[in-house]
Structure formats: structure tokens, C-alpha cells
Chain A
Amino acid sequence: NAGVTQTPKFRVLKTGQSMTLLCAQDMNHEYMYWYRQDPGMGLRLIHYSVGEGTTAKGEVPDGYNVSRLKKQNFLLGLESAAPSQTSVYFCASRGRSDTQYFGPGTRLTVL
């Protein structure tokens, strides 16, 4: 039981490049979330999903897209990366227990 995993762990992009962050959970959870955390700050919600095939905007959705084609996976896409998107990205999932389980994070630097 791996819990929540994130791929990749680190990435450096140039401005304008695109990439996709993958989140996978093996707990059969319905809800999944993408957060970003800037230095010295708390986490902010980017997008979330309440089930397979559904997505919704969170607090800071601009510049990001998401997809939930399979229940266990939640993808976060950056179509044209900007330096303001330099951050640590965390994925989380939640089942019936009202507890969110977080992944280890992806550290992204946009030059």
C-alpha cells in the first residue's frame, strides 16, 4: 500500500515549456486535490476532483489544467510555464474518513 505517490520529484523548466505532474493513489479514494506551497506559506488549493471524470477549480487555478480519467490518477498540467509557478506541488486524496493523505511533493523550478 503505497498511499499517494507523485511523479516526478523534481523538475526544472524553461519559461513557456509544458509539463504534466502525475498523482496516483491506491486507497480507492473518491476525492483528490492539487495544492501548491510557496516558501514560508501554507498550501493553496489549485484544483480538485470529487470522482472519476470530474474536476473543479480551487483557490488558484489560473495557468493549470487537470484531468481525472481514472479514479486512481489525478494529473496536473502546465501548458506554458511561468516563473510565478515555481513552487512545491502536493497532491492529496480523501476517502470516507474525512482525512486527507498527502503525497511527498514535486519541487518545480521555472527559469
Chain B
Amino acid sequence: DAKTTQPNSMESNEEEPVHLPCNHSTISGTDYIHWYRQLPSQGPEYVIHGLTSNVNNRMASLAIAEDRKSSTLILHRATLRDAAVYYCILDAGGTSYGKLTFGQGTILTVHP
């Protein structure tokens, strides 16, 4: 399985933008880039995913490099509720039956 590399931790101030990077240099052409986050003592929750084009939703934006070897999750205005572990995961789509391989993720700390 193609792997991802993320920083262990990042910090931000409340109401400031946050850019969470992810490297996936061995990504294949059919791998989707998924982001999930896990708040303390909860199960992971879906944030966003994309294949080639940048994506936006109500939670975040996903910027994908042109060569797809890296991507960035953007939280436009961090809140204290955004403090969580963020996981960048590659999903091979139908052939993998949706199986996800979680790394250790990035621990995001948001300061008031």
C-alpha cells in the first residue's frame, strides 16, 4: 500500500488558517487522497477527499499538488473544536474495498 508522511504535530492560534501537509510520493494514479480527523475520545470522522483537483467543503479545503505527490488540508479559521489528530490516507478505491491504512497522523493543537 502506498504510504503517507505527515508531521507529528502542529500548532495554531484560534481563528487563524491552518495548513496541514501530507507527502505521498508513491501514490498511484487511481488512489484517492482522504483526510479524517479524530477528536479526543471519539471515533475518526471524515473531513474531505479528492483525486486530482482541489476540493472544498464546509469543513475544509484540500489542495493537491499537480504531480499528486503531496497535498495540504486547509482549515480556513481554526477553532478550539478543531484540535484533533488529522490523518491523511490513500484509498485505492473499489479494488481495496474501502480499506483504510491509518498512520500516526498530525496532532493539531489550537491555542485560544
Q: Which residues of A does B touch, CB under 8 Å?
A: 4, 31, 33, 35, 40-45, 48, 50, 56, 58-59, 90, 92, 94, 98-105
Question: How close is B19's CB to chain A, nearest CB, in angstroms?
Answer: 21
Question: How close is B58's CB to chain A, nearest CB, in angstroms?
Answer: 14
Contact with B97, one of A40, A50, A104 (Cβ below 8 angstroms)? A50
* Cβ-defined contact, B46 with A99, below 8 A: yes
Q: A42-B87, A50-B97, A58-B99 are in contact. Are A105 and B42 (CB under 8 A)?
A: yes
* Cβ-defined contact, B42 with A104, below 8 A: yes
Q: 1/0 contact trace for B1-38 toward A, CB 8 Å?
A: 00000000000000000000000000000001010100
Question: How close is B60's CB to chain A, nearest CB, in angstroms?
Answer: 14
Q: Give the number of residue pairs across the A-B interface with Cβ within 8 Å.
A: 56
Question: How close is A100's CB to chain B, nearest CB, in angstroms?
Answer: 6
CA distance A100 to B49 in the complex (A): 11
- B36 neighbours in A (Cβ, 8 Å): 100
User: How many interface residues does chain B have, given as a range?
Assistant: 20 to 34
* Cβ-defined contact, A98 with B45, below 8 A: no
* Cβ-defined contact, A43 with B97, below 8 A: no
* Cβ-defined contact, A102 with B45, below 8 A: yes
Q: Which residues of B does A touch, CB under 8 Å?
A: 32, 34, 36, 41-46, 49, 87, 91, 93, 97-105
* Cβ-defined contact, A42 with B104, below 8 A: yes
Interface centre among A42, A104, A105 (most CB of B within 10 A): A42
Question: How close is B99's CB to chain A, nearest CB, in angstroms?
Answer: 6
Question: How close is B80's CB to chain A, nearest CB, in angstroms?
Answer: 21
CA distance A106 to B49 in the complex (A): 27
- A58 neighbours in B (Cβ, 8 Å): 99
* Cβ-defined contact, B98 with A94, below 8 A: yes
Question: How close is B101's CB to chain A, nearest CB, in angstroms?
Answer: 7
- B42 neighbours in A (Cβ, 8 Å): 104-105
Q: A31-B97, A98-B32 are in contact. Are A44 and B102 (CB under 8 A)?
A: yes
